Structure 1
């Protein structure tokens, strides 16, 4: 809840008081759908009634997959923006991403369509009563299905790094684009976050001790939902305080993301002064 309050003023400034765009819609999804999933996971971690345990777990796991798809869409849209709105690049990335979405749906159907593959274990202590999941199938299916997801993230990171390297080569001896560096850095952060998330999801299907499983669940149920909206807001916040004339422009159409003209103008003004 503290994250919700901390970002609320900036959200009002950069989302609710401006014309809506695809990026603002994606932000609202990862912000509030992620908040819903985080609260649901927190409640289930404290206590999950056995009568509804299967339905809640299926809802949470399907929710994770939906959240992942929207987070990946943000990465694709950012690459489209910093690559001079290349339609070819957008079509290629979307074409590669659609099989990942289909794989995610198939994985959820296979892993969570049968109540026999997992159960809820109720643990009672002297001070608390909580629940944890117990999986009855090995981790190999989860490993196989996570490989394409990780590979797609690697493609996005490598492509973002290649775009940045080309930009730095073009701007040799001059100031590089701040936003391009920031977006590529956030791509790397998200890659590390998602890789960690995929590894921990696989570990949940392995026979690991209950404390280790609880820590894995805690990370998966909190970190993605906290970091993803914060990374989006930070770009908008930097842009708003950078004195750009195009601050009200939608994300993909903002020339600051790709054009070095503003920096060149700043350098010229410094020379004149």
Structure 2
């Protein structure tokens, strides 16, 4: 019987080691993805971010872009470390729950809230709603995190070369409930963006226009800056919702195993990508708009593929250190 029990424990150990290997592969893949994306967009980042004056959006961008890379690499290091002691593992237990990922969550959600606040012309009611939703989301996250972390104990390594830290988990079910509000909040971001897009298109598309919803007509009616604002918001917020839902499903199906830890690099890498590109793409579109506005009359219209129309115009401030979405009425604007 003892031989059978020892064999079963050995098989569990081997299975756990293989699961940690999968987690490490995903951490490395996430770090490579974020690093590659940073390199590919480095020229735009230097021009539009580093050379711009210091401001809140710039600080948020740098944290969202580089904290994600650091956090993922740090996670991979902690998971392969075979010499970490009880002190490091205790620190790591709290860092992974209340350290980098929590700061990352706060920073990226501030960017998303600023984005929607600007999209809705700085509506105070919407801002109150979004901040309240964020606080509820944060509260659920802290409750689930503390509920899972406080009873968790660091235990000695089962074998000398065991990678990462070993914990005795008492209450892992509560963590699942932290993902649900996050998924709902991401869905709210997406729905608000799509609702605004449909409303603006309805207001600025002439009646009885054939194929009004084609990409060409949408671009002509919205202009490049507003198009980037809407396109990025709808796509990226849909990506956030899909990621949050995936994390919840992974945690629900693999709770209590090392595979559940794959949600951390998945969540961090996607949020880093979305938050940084929401700011970077917007500044790129603003710069393009400034370039087109400086062209001689008529030439800019040809490049933009549209005609000057007299209508209510929505545009993001082209001042790179602001995130202001201003409404201007009765202005002729080439689209």
TM-score by length of 2: 0.64
Aligned structure 1 segments of 4 or more residues deviating by more than 6 angstroms? 120-125
Whole-Å separation in 1 of the counterparts to 2:156 and 2:117: 43
- Alignment partner, residue 125 of structure 2: 88
Is 1:11 paired with 2:45? yes
Gaps of 5+ in 2: 1-34, 207-219, 294-316
- Alignment partner, residue 142 of structure 1: 175
Describe how 1:142-161 pairs up with structure 2 within 5 A.
Answer: 142-161=175-194
Kindly tell me the number of residue pairs found equivalent between the two proteins.
257
The structure-2 alpha-carbon separation of the partners of 1:226 and 1:53, relative to structure 1 and needing over 3 Å to count, comes to: farther
Shift of residue 214 of structure 1?
A: 6.4
Describe how 1:159-238 pairs up with structure 2 within 5 A.
Answer: 159-173=192-206, 175-176=221-222, 177-182=226-231, 183-203=233-253, 206-208=255-257, 212-213=259-260, 215-216=262-263, 218-220=265-267, 222-238=269-285
Q: Secondary structure at the match of 1:235?
A: helix
Shift of residue 215 of structure 1?
A: 4.9
Shift of residue 46 of structure 1?
A: 2.0
TM-score by length of 1: 0.77
- Alignment partner, residue 65 of structure 1: 102
Describe how 1:18-29 pairs up with structure 2 within 5 A.
Answer: 18-29=52-63
Is 1:265 paired with 2:333? yes
* Superposition CA RMSD, Å: 3.3
Is 1:252 paired with 2:323? yes
Shift of residue 157 of structure 1?
A: 2.0
1:160-209 superposed Cα distances (whole Å, 9 cap, x missing partner)? 221111111112246133133222322222222233234434555x144x
Whole-Å separation in 1 of the counterparts to 2:275 and 2:150: 29
The structure-2 alpha-carbon separation of the partners of 1:202 and 1:133, relative to structure 1 and needing over 3 Å to count, comes to: farther
Residues 155 and 166 of structure 2 are in contact (CA less than 8 Å); yes or no, is this contact kept in structure 1? yes
Whole-Å separation in 1 of the counterparts to 2:36 and 2:158: 29
Whole-Å separation in 2 of the counterparts to 1:35 and 1:8: 15
Whole-Å separation in 1 of the counterparts to 2:266 and 2:201: 35
Q: Secondary structure at the match of 2:163?
A: strand
The structure-2 alpha-carbon separation of the partners of 1:223 and 1:44, relative to structure 1 and needing over 3 Å to count, comes to: farther
Residues 140 and 177 of structure 2 are in contact (CA less than 8 Å); yes or no, is this contact kept in structure 1? no
Shift of residue 71 of structure 1?
A: 1.3
Whole-Å separation in 2 of the counterparts to 1:244 and 1:83: 25
Whole-Å separation in 1 of the counterparts to 2:130 and 2:261: 35
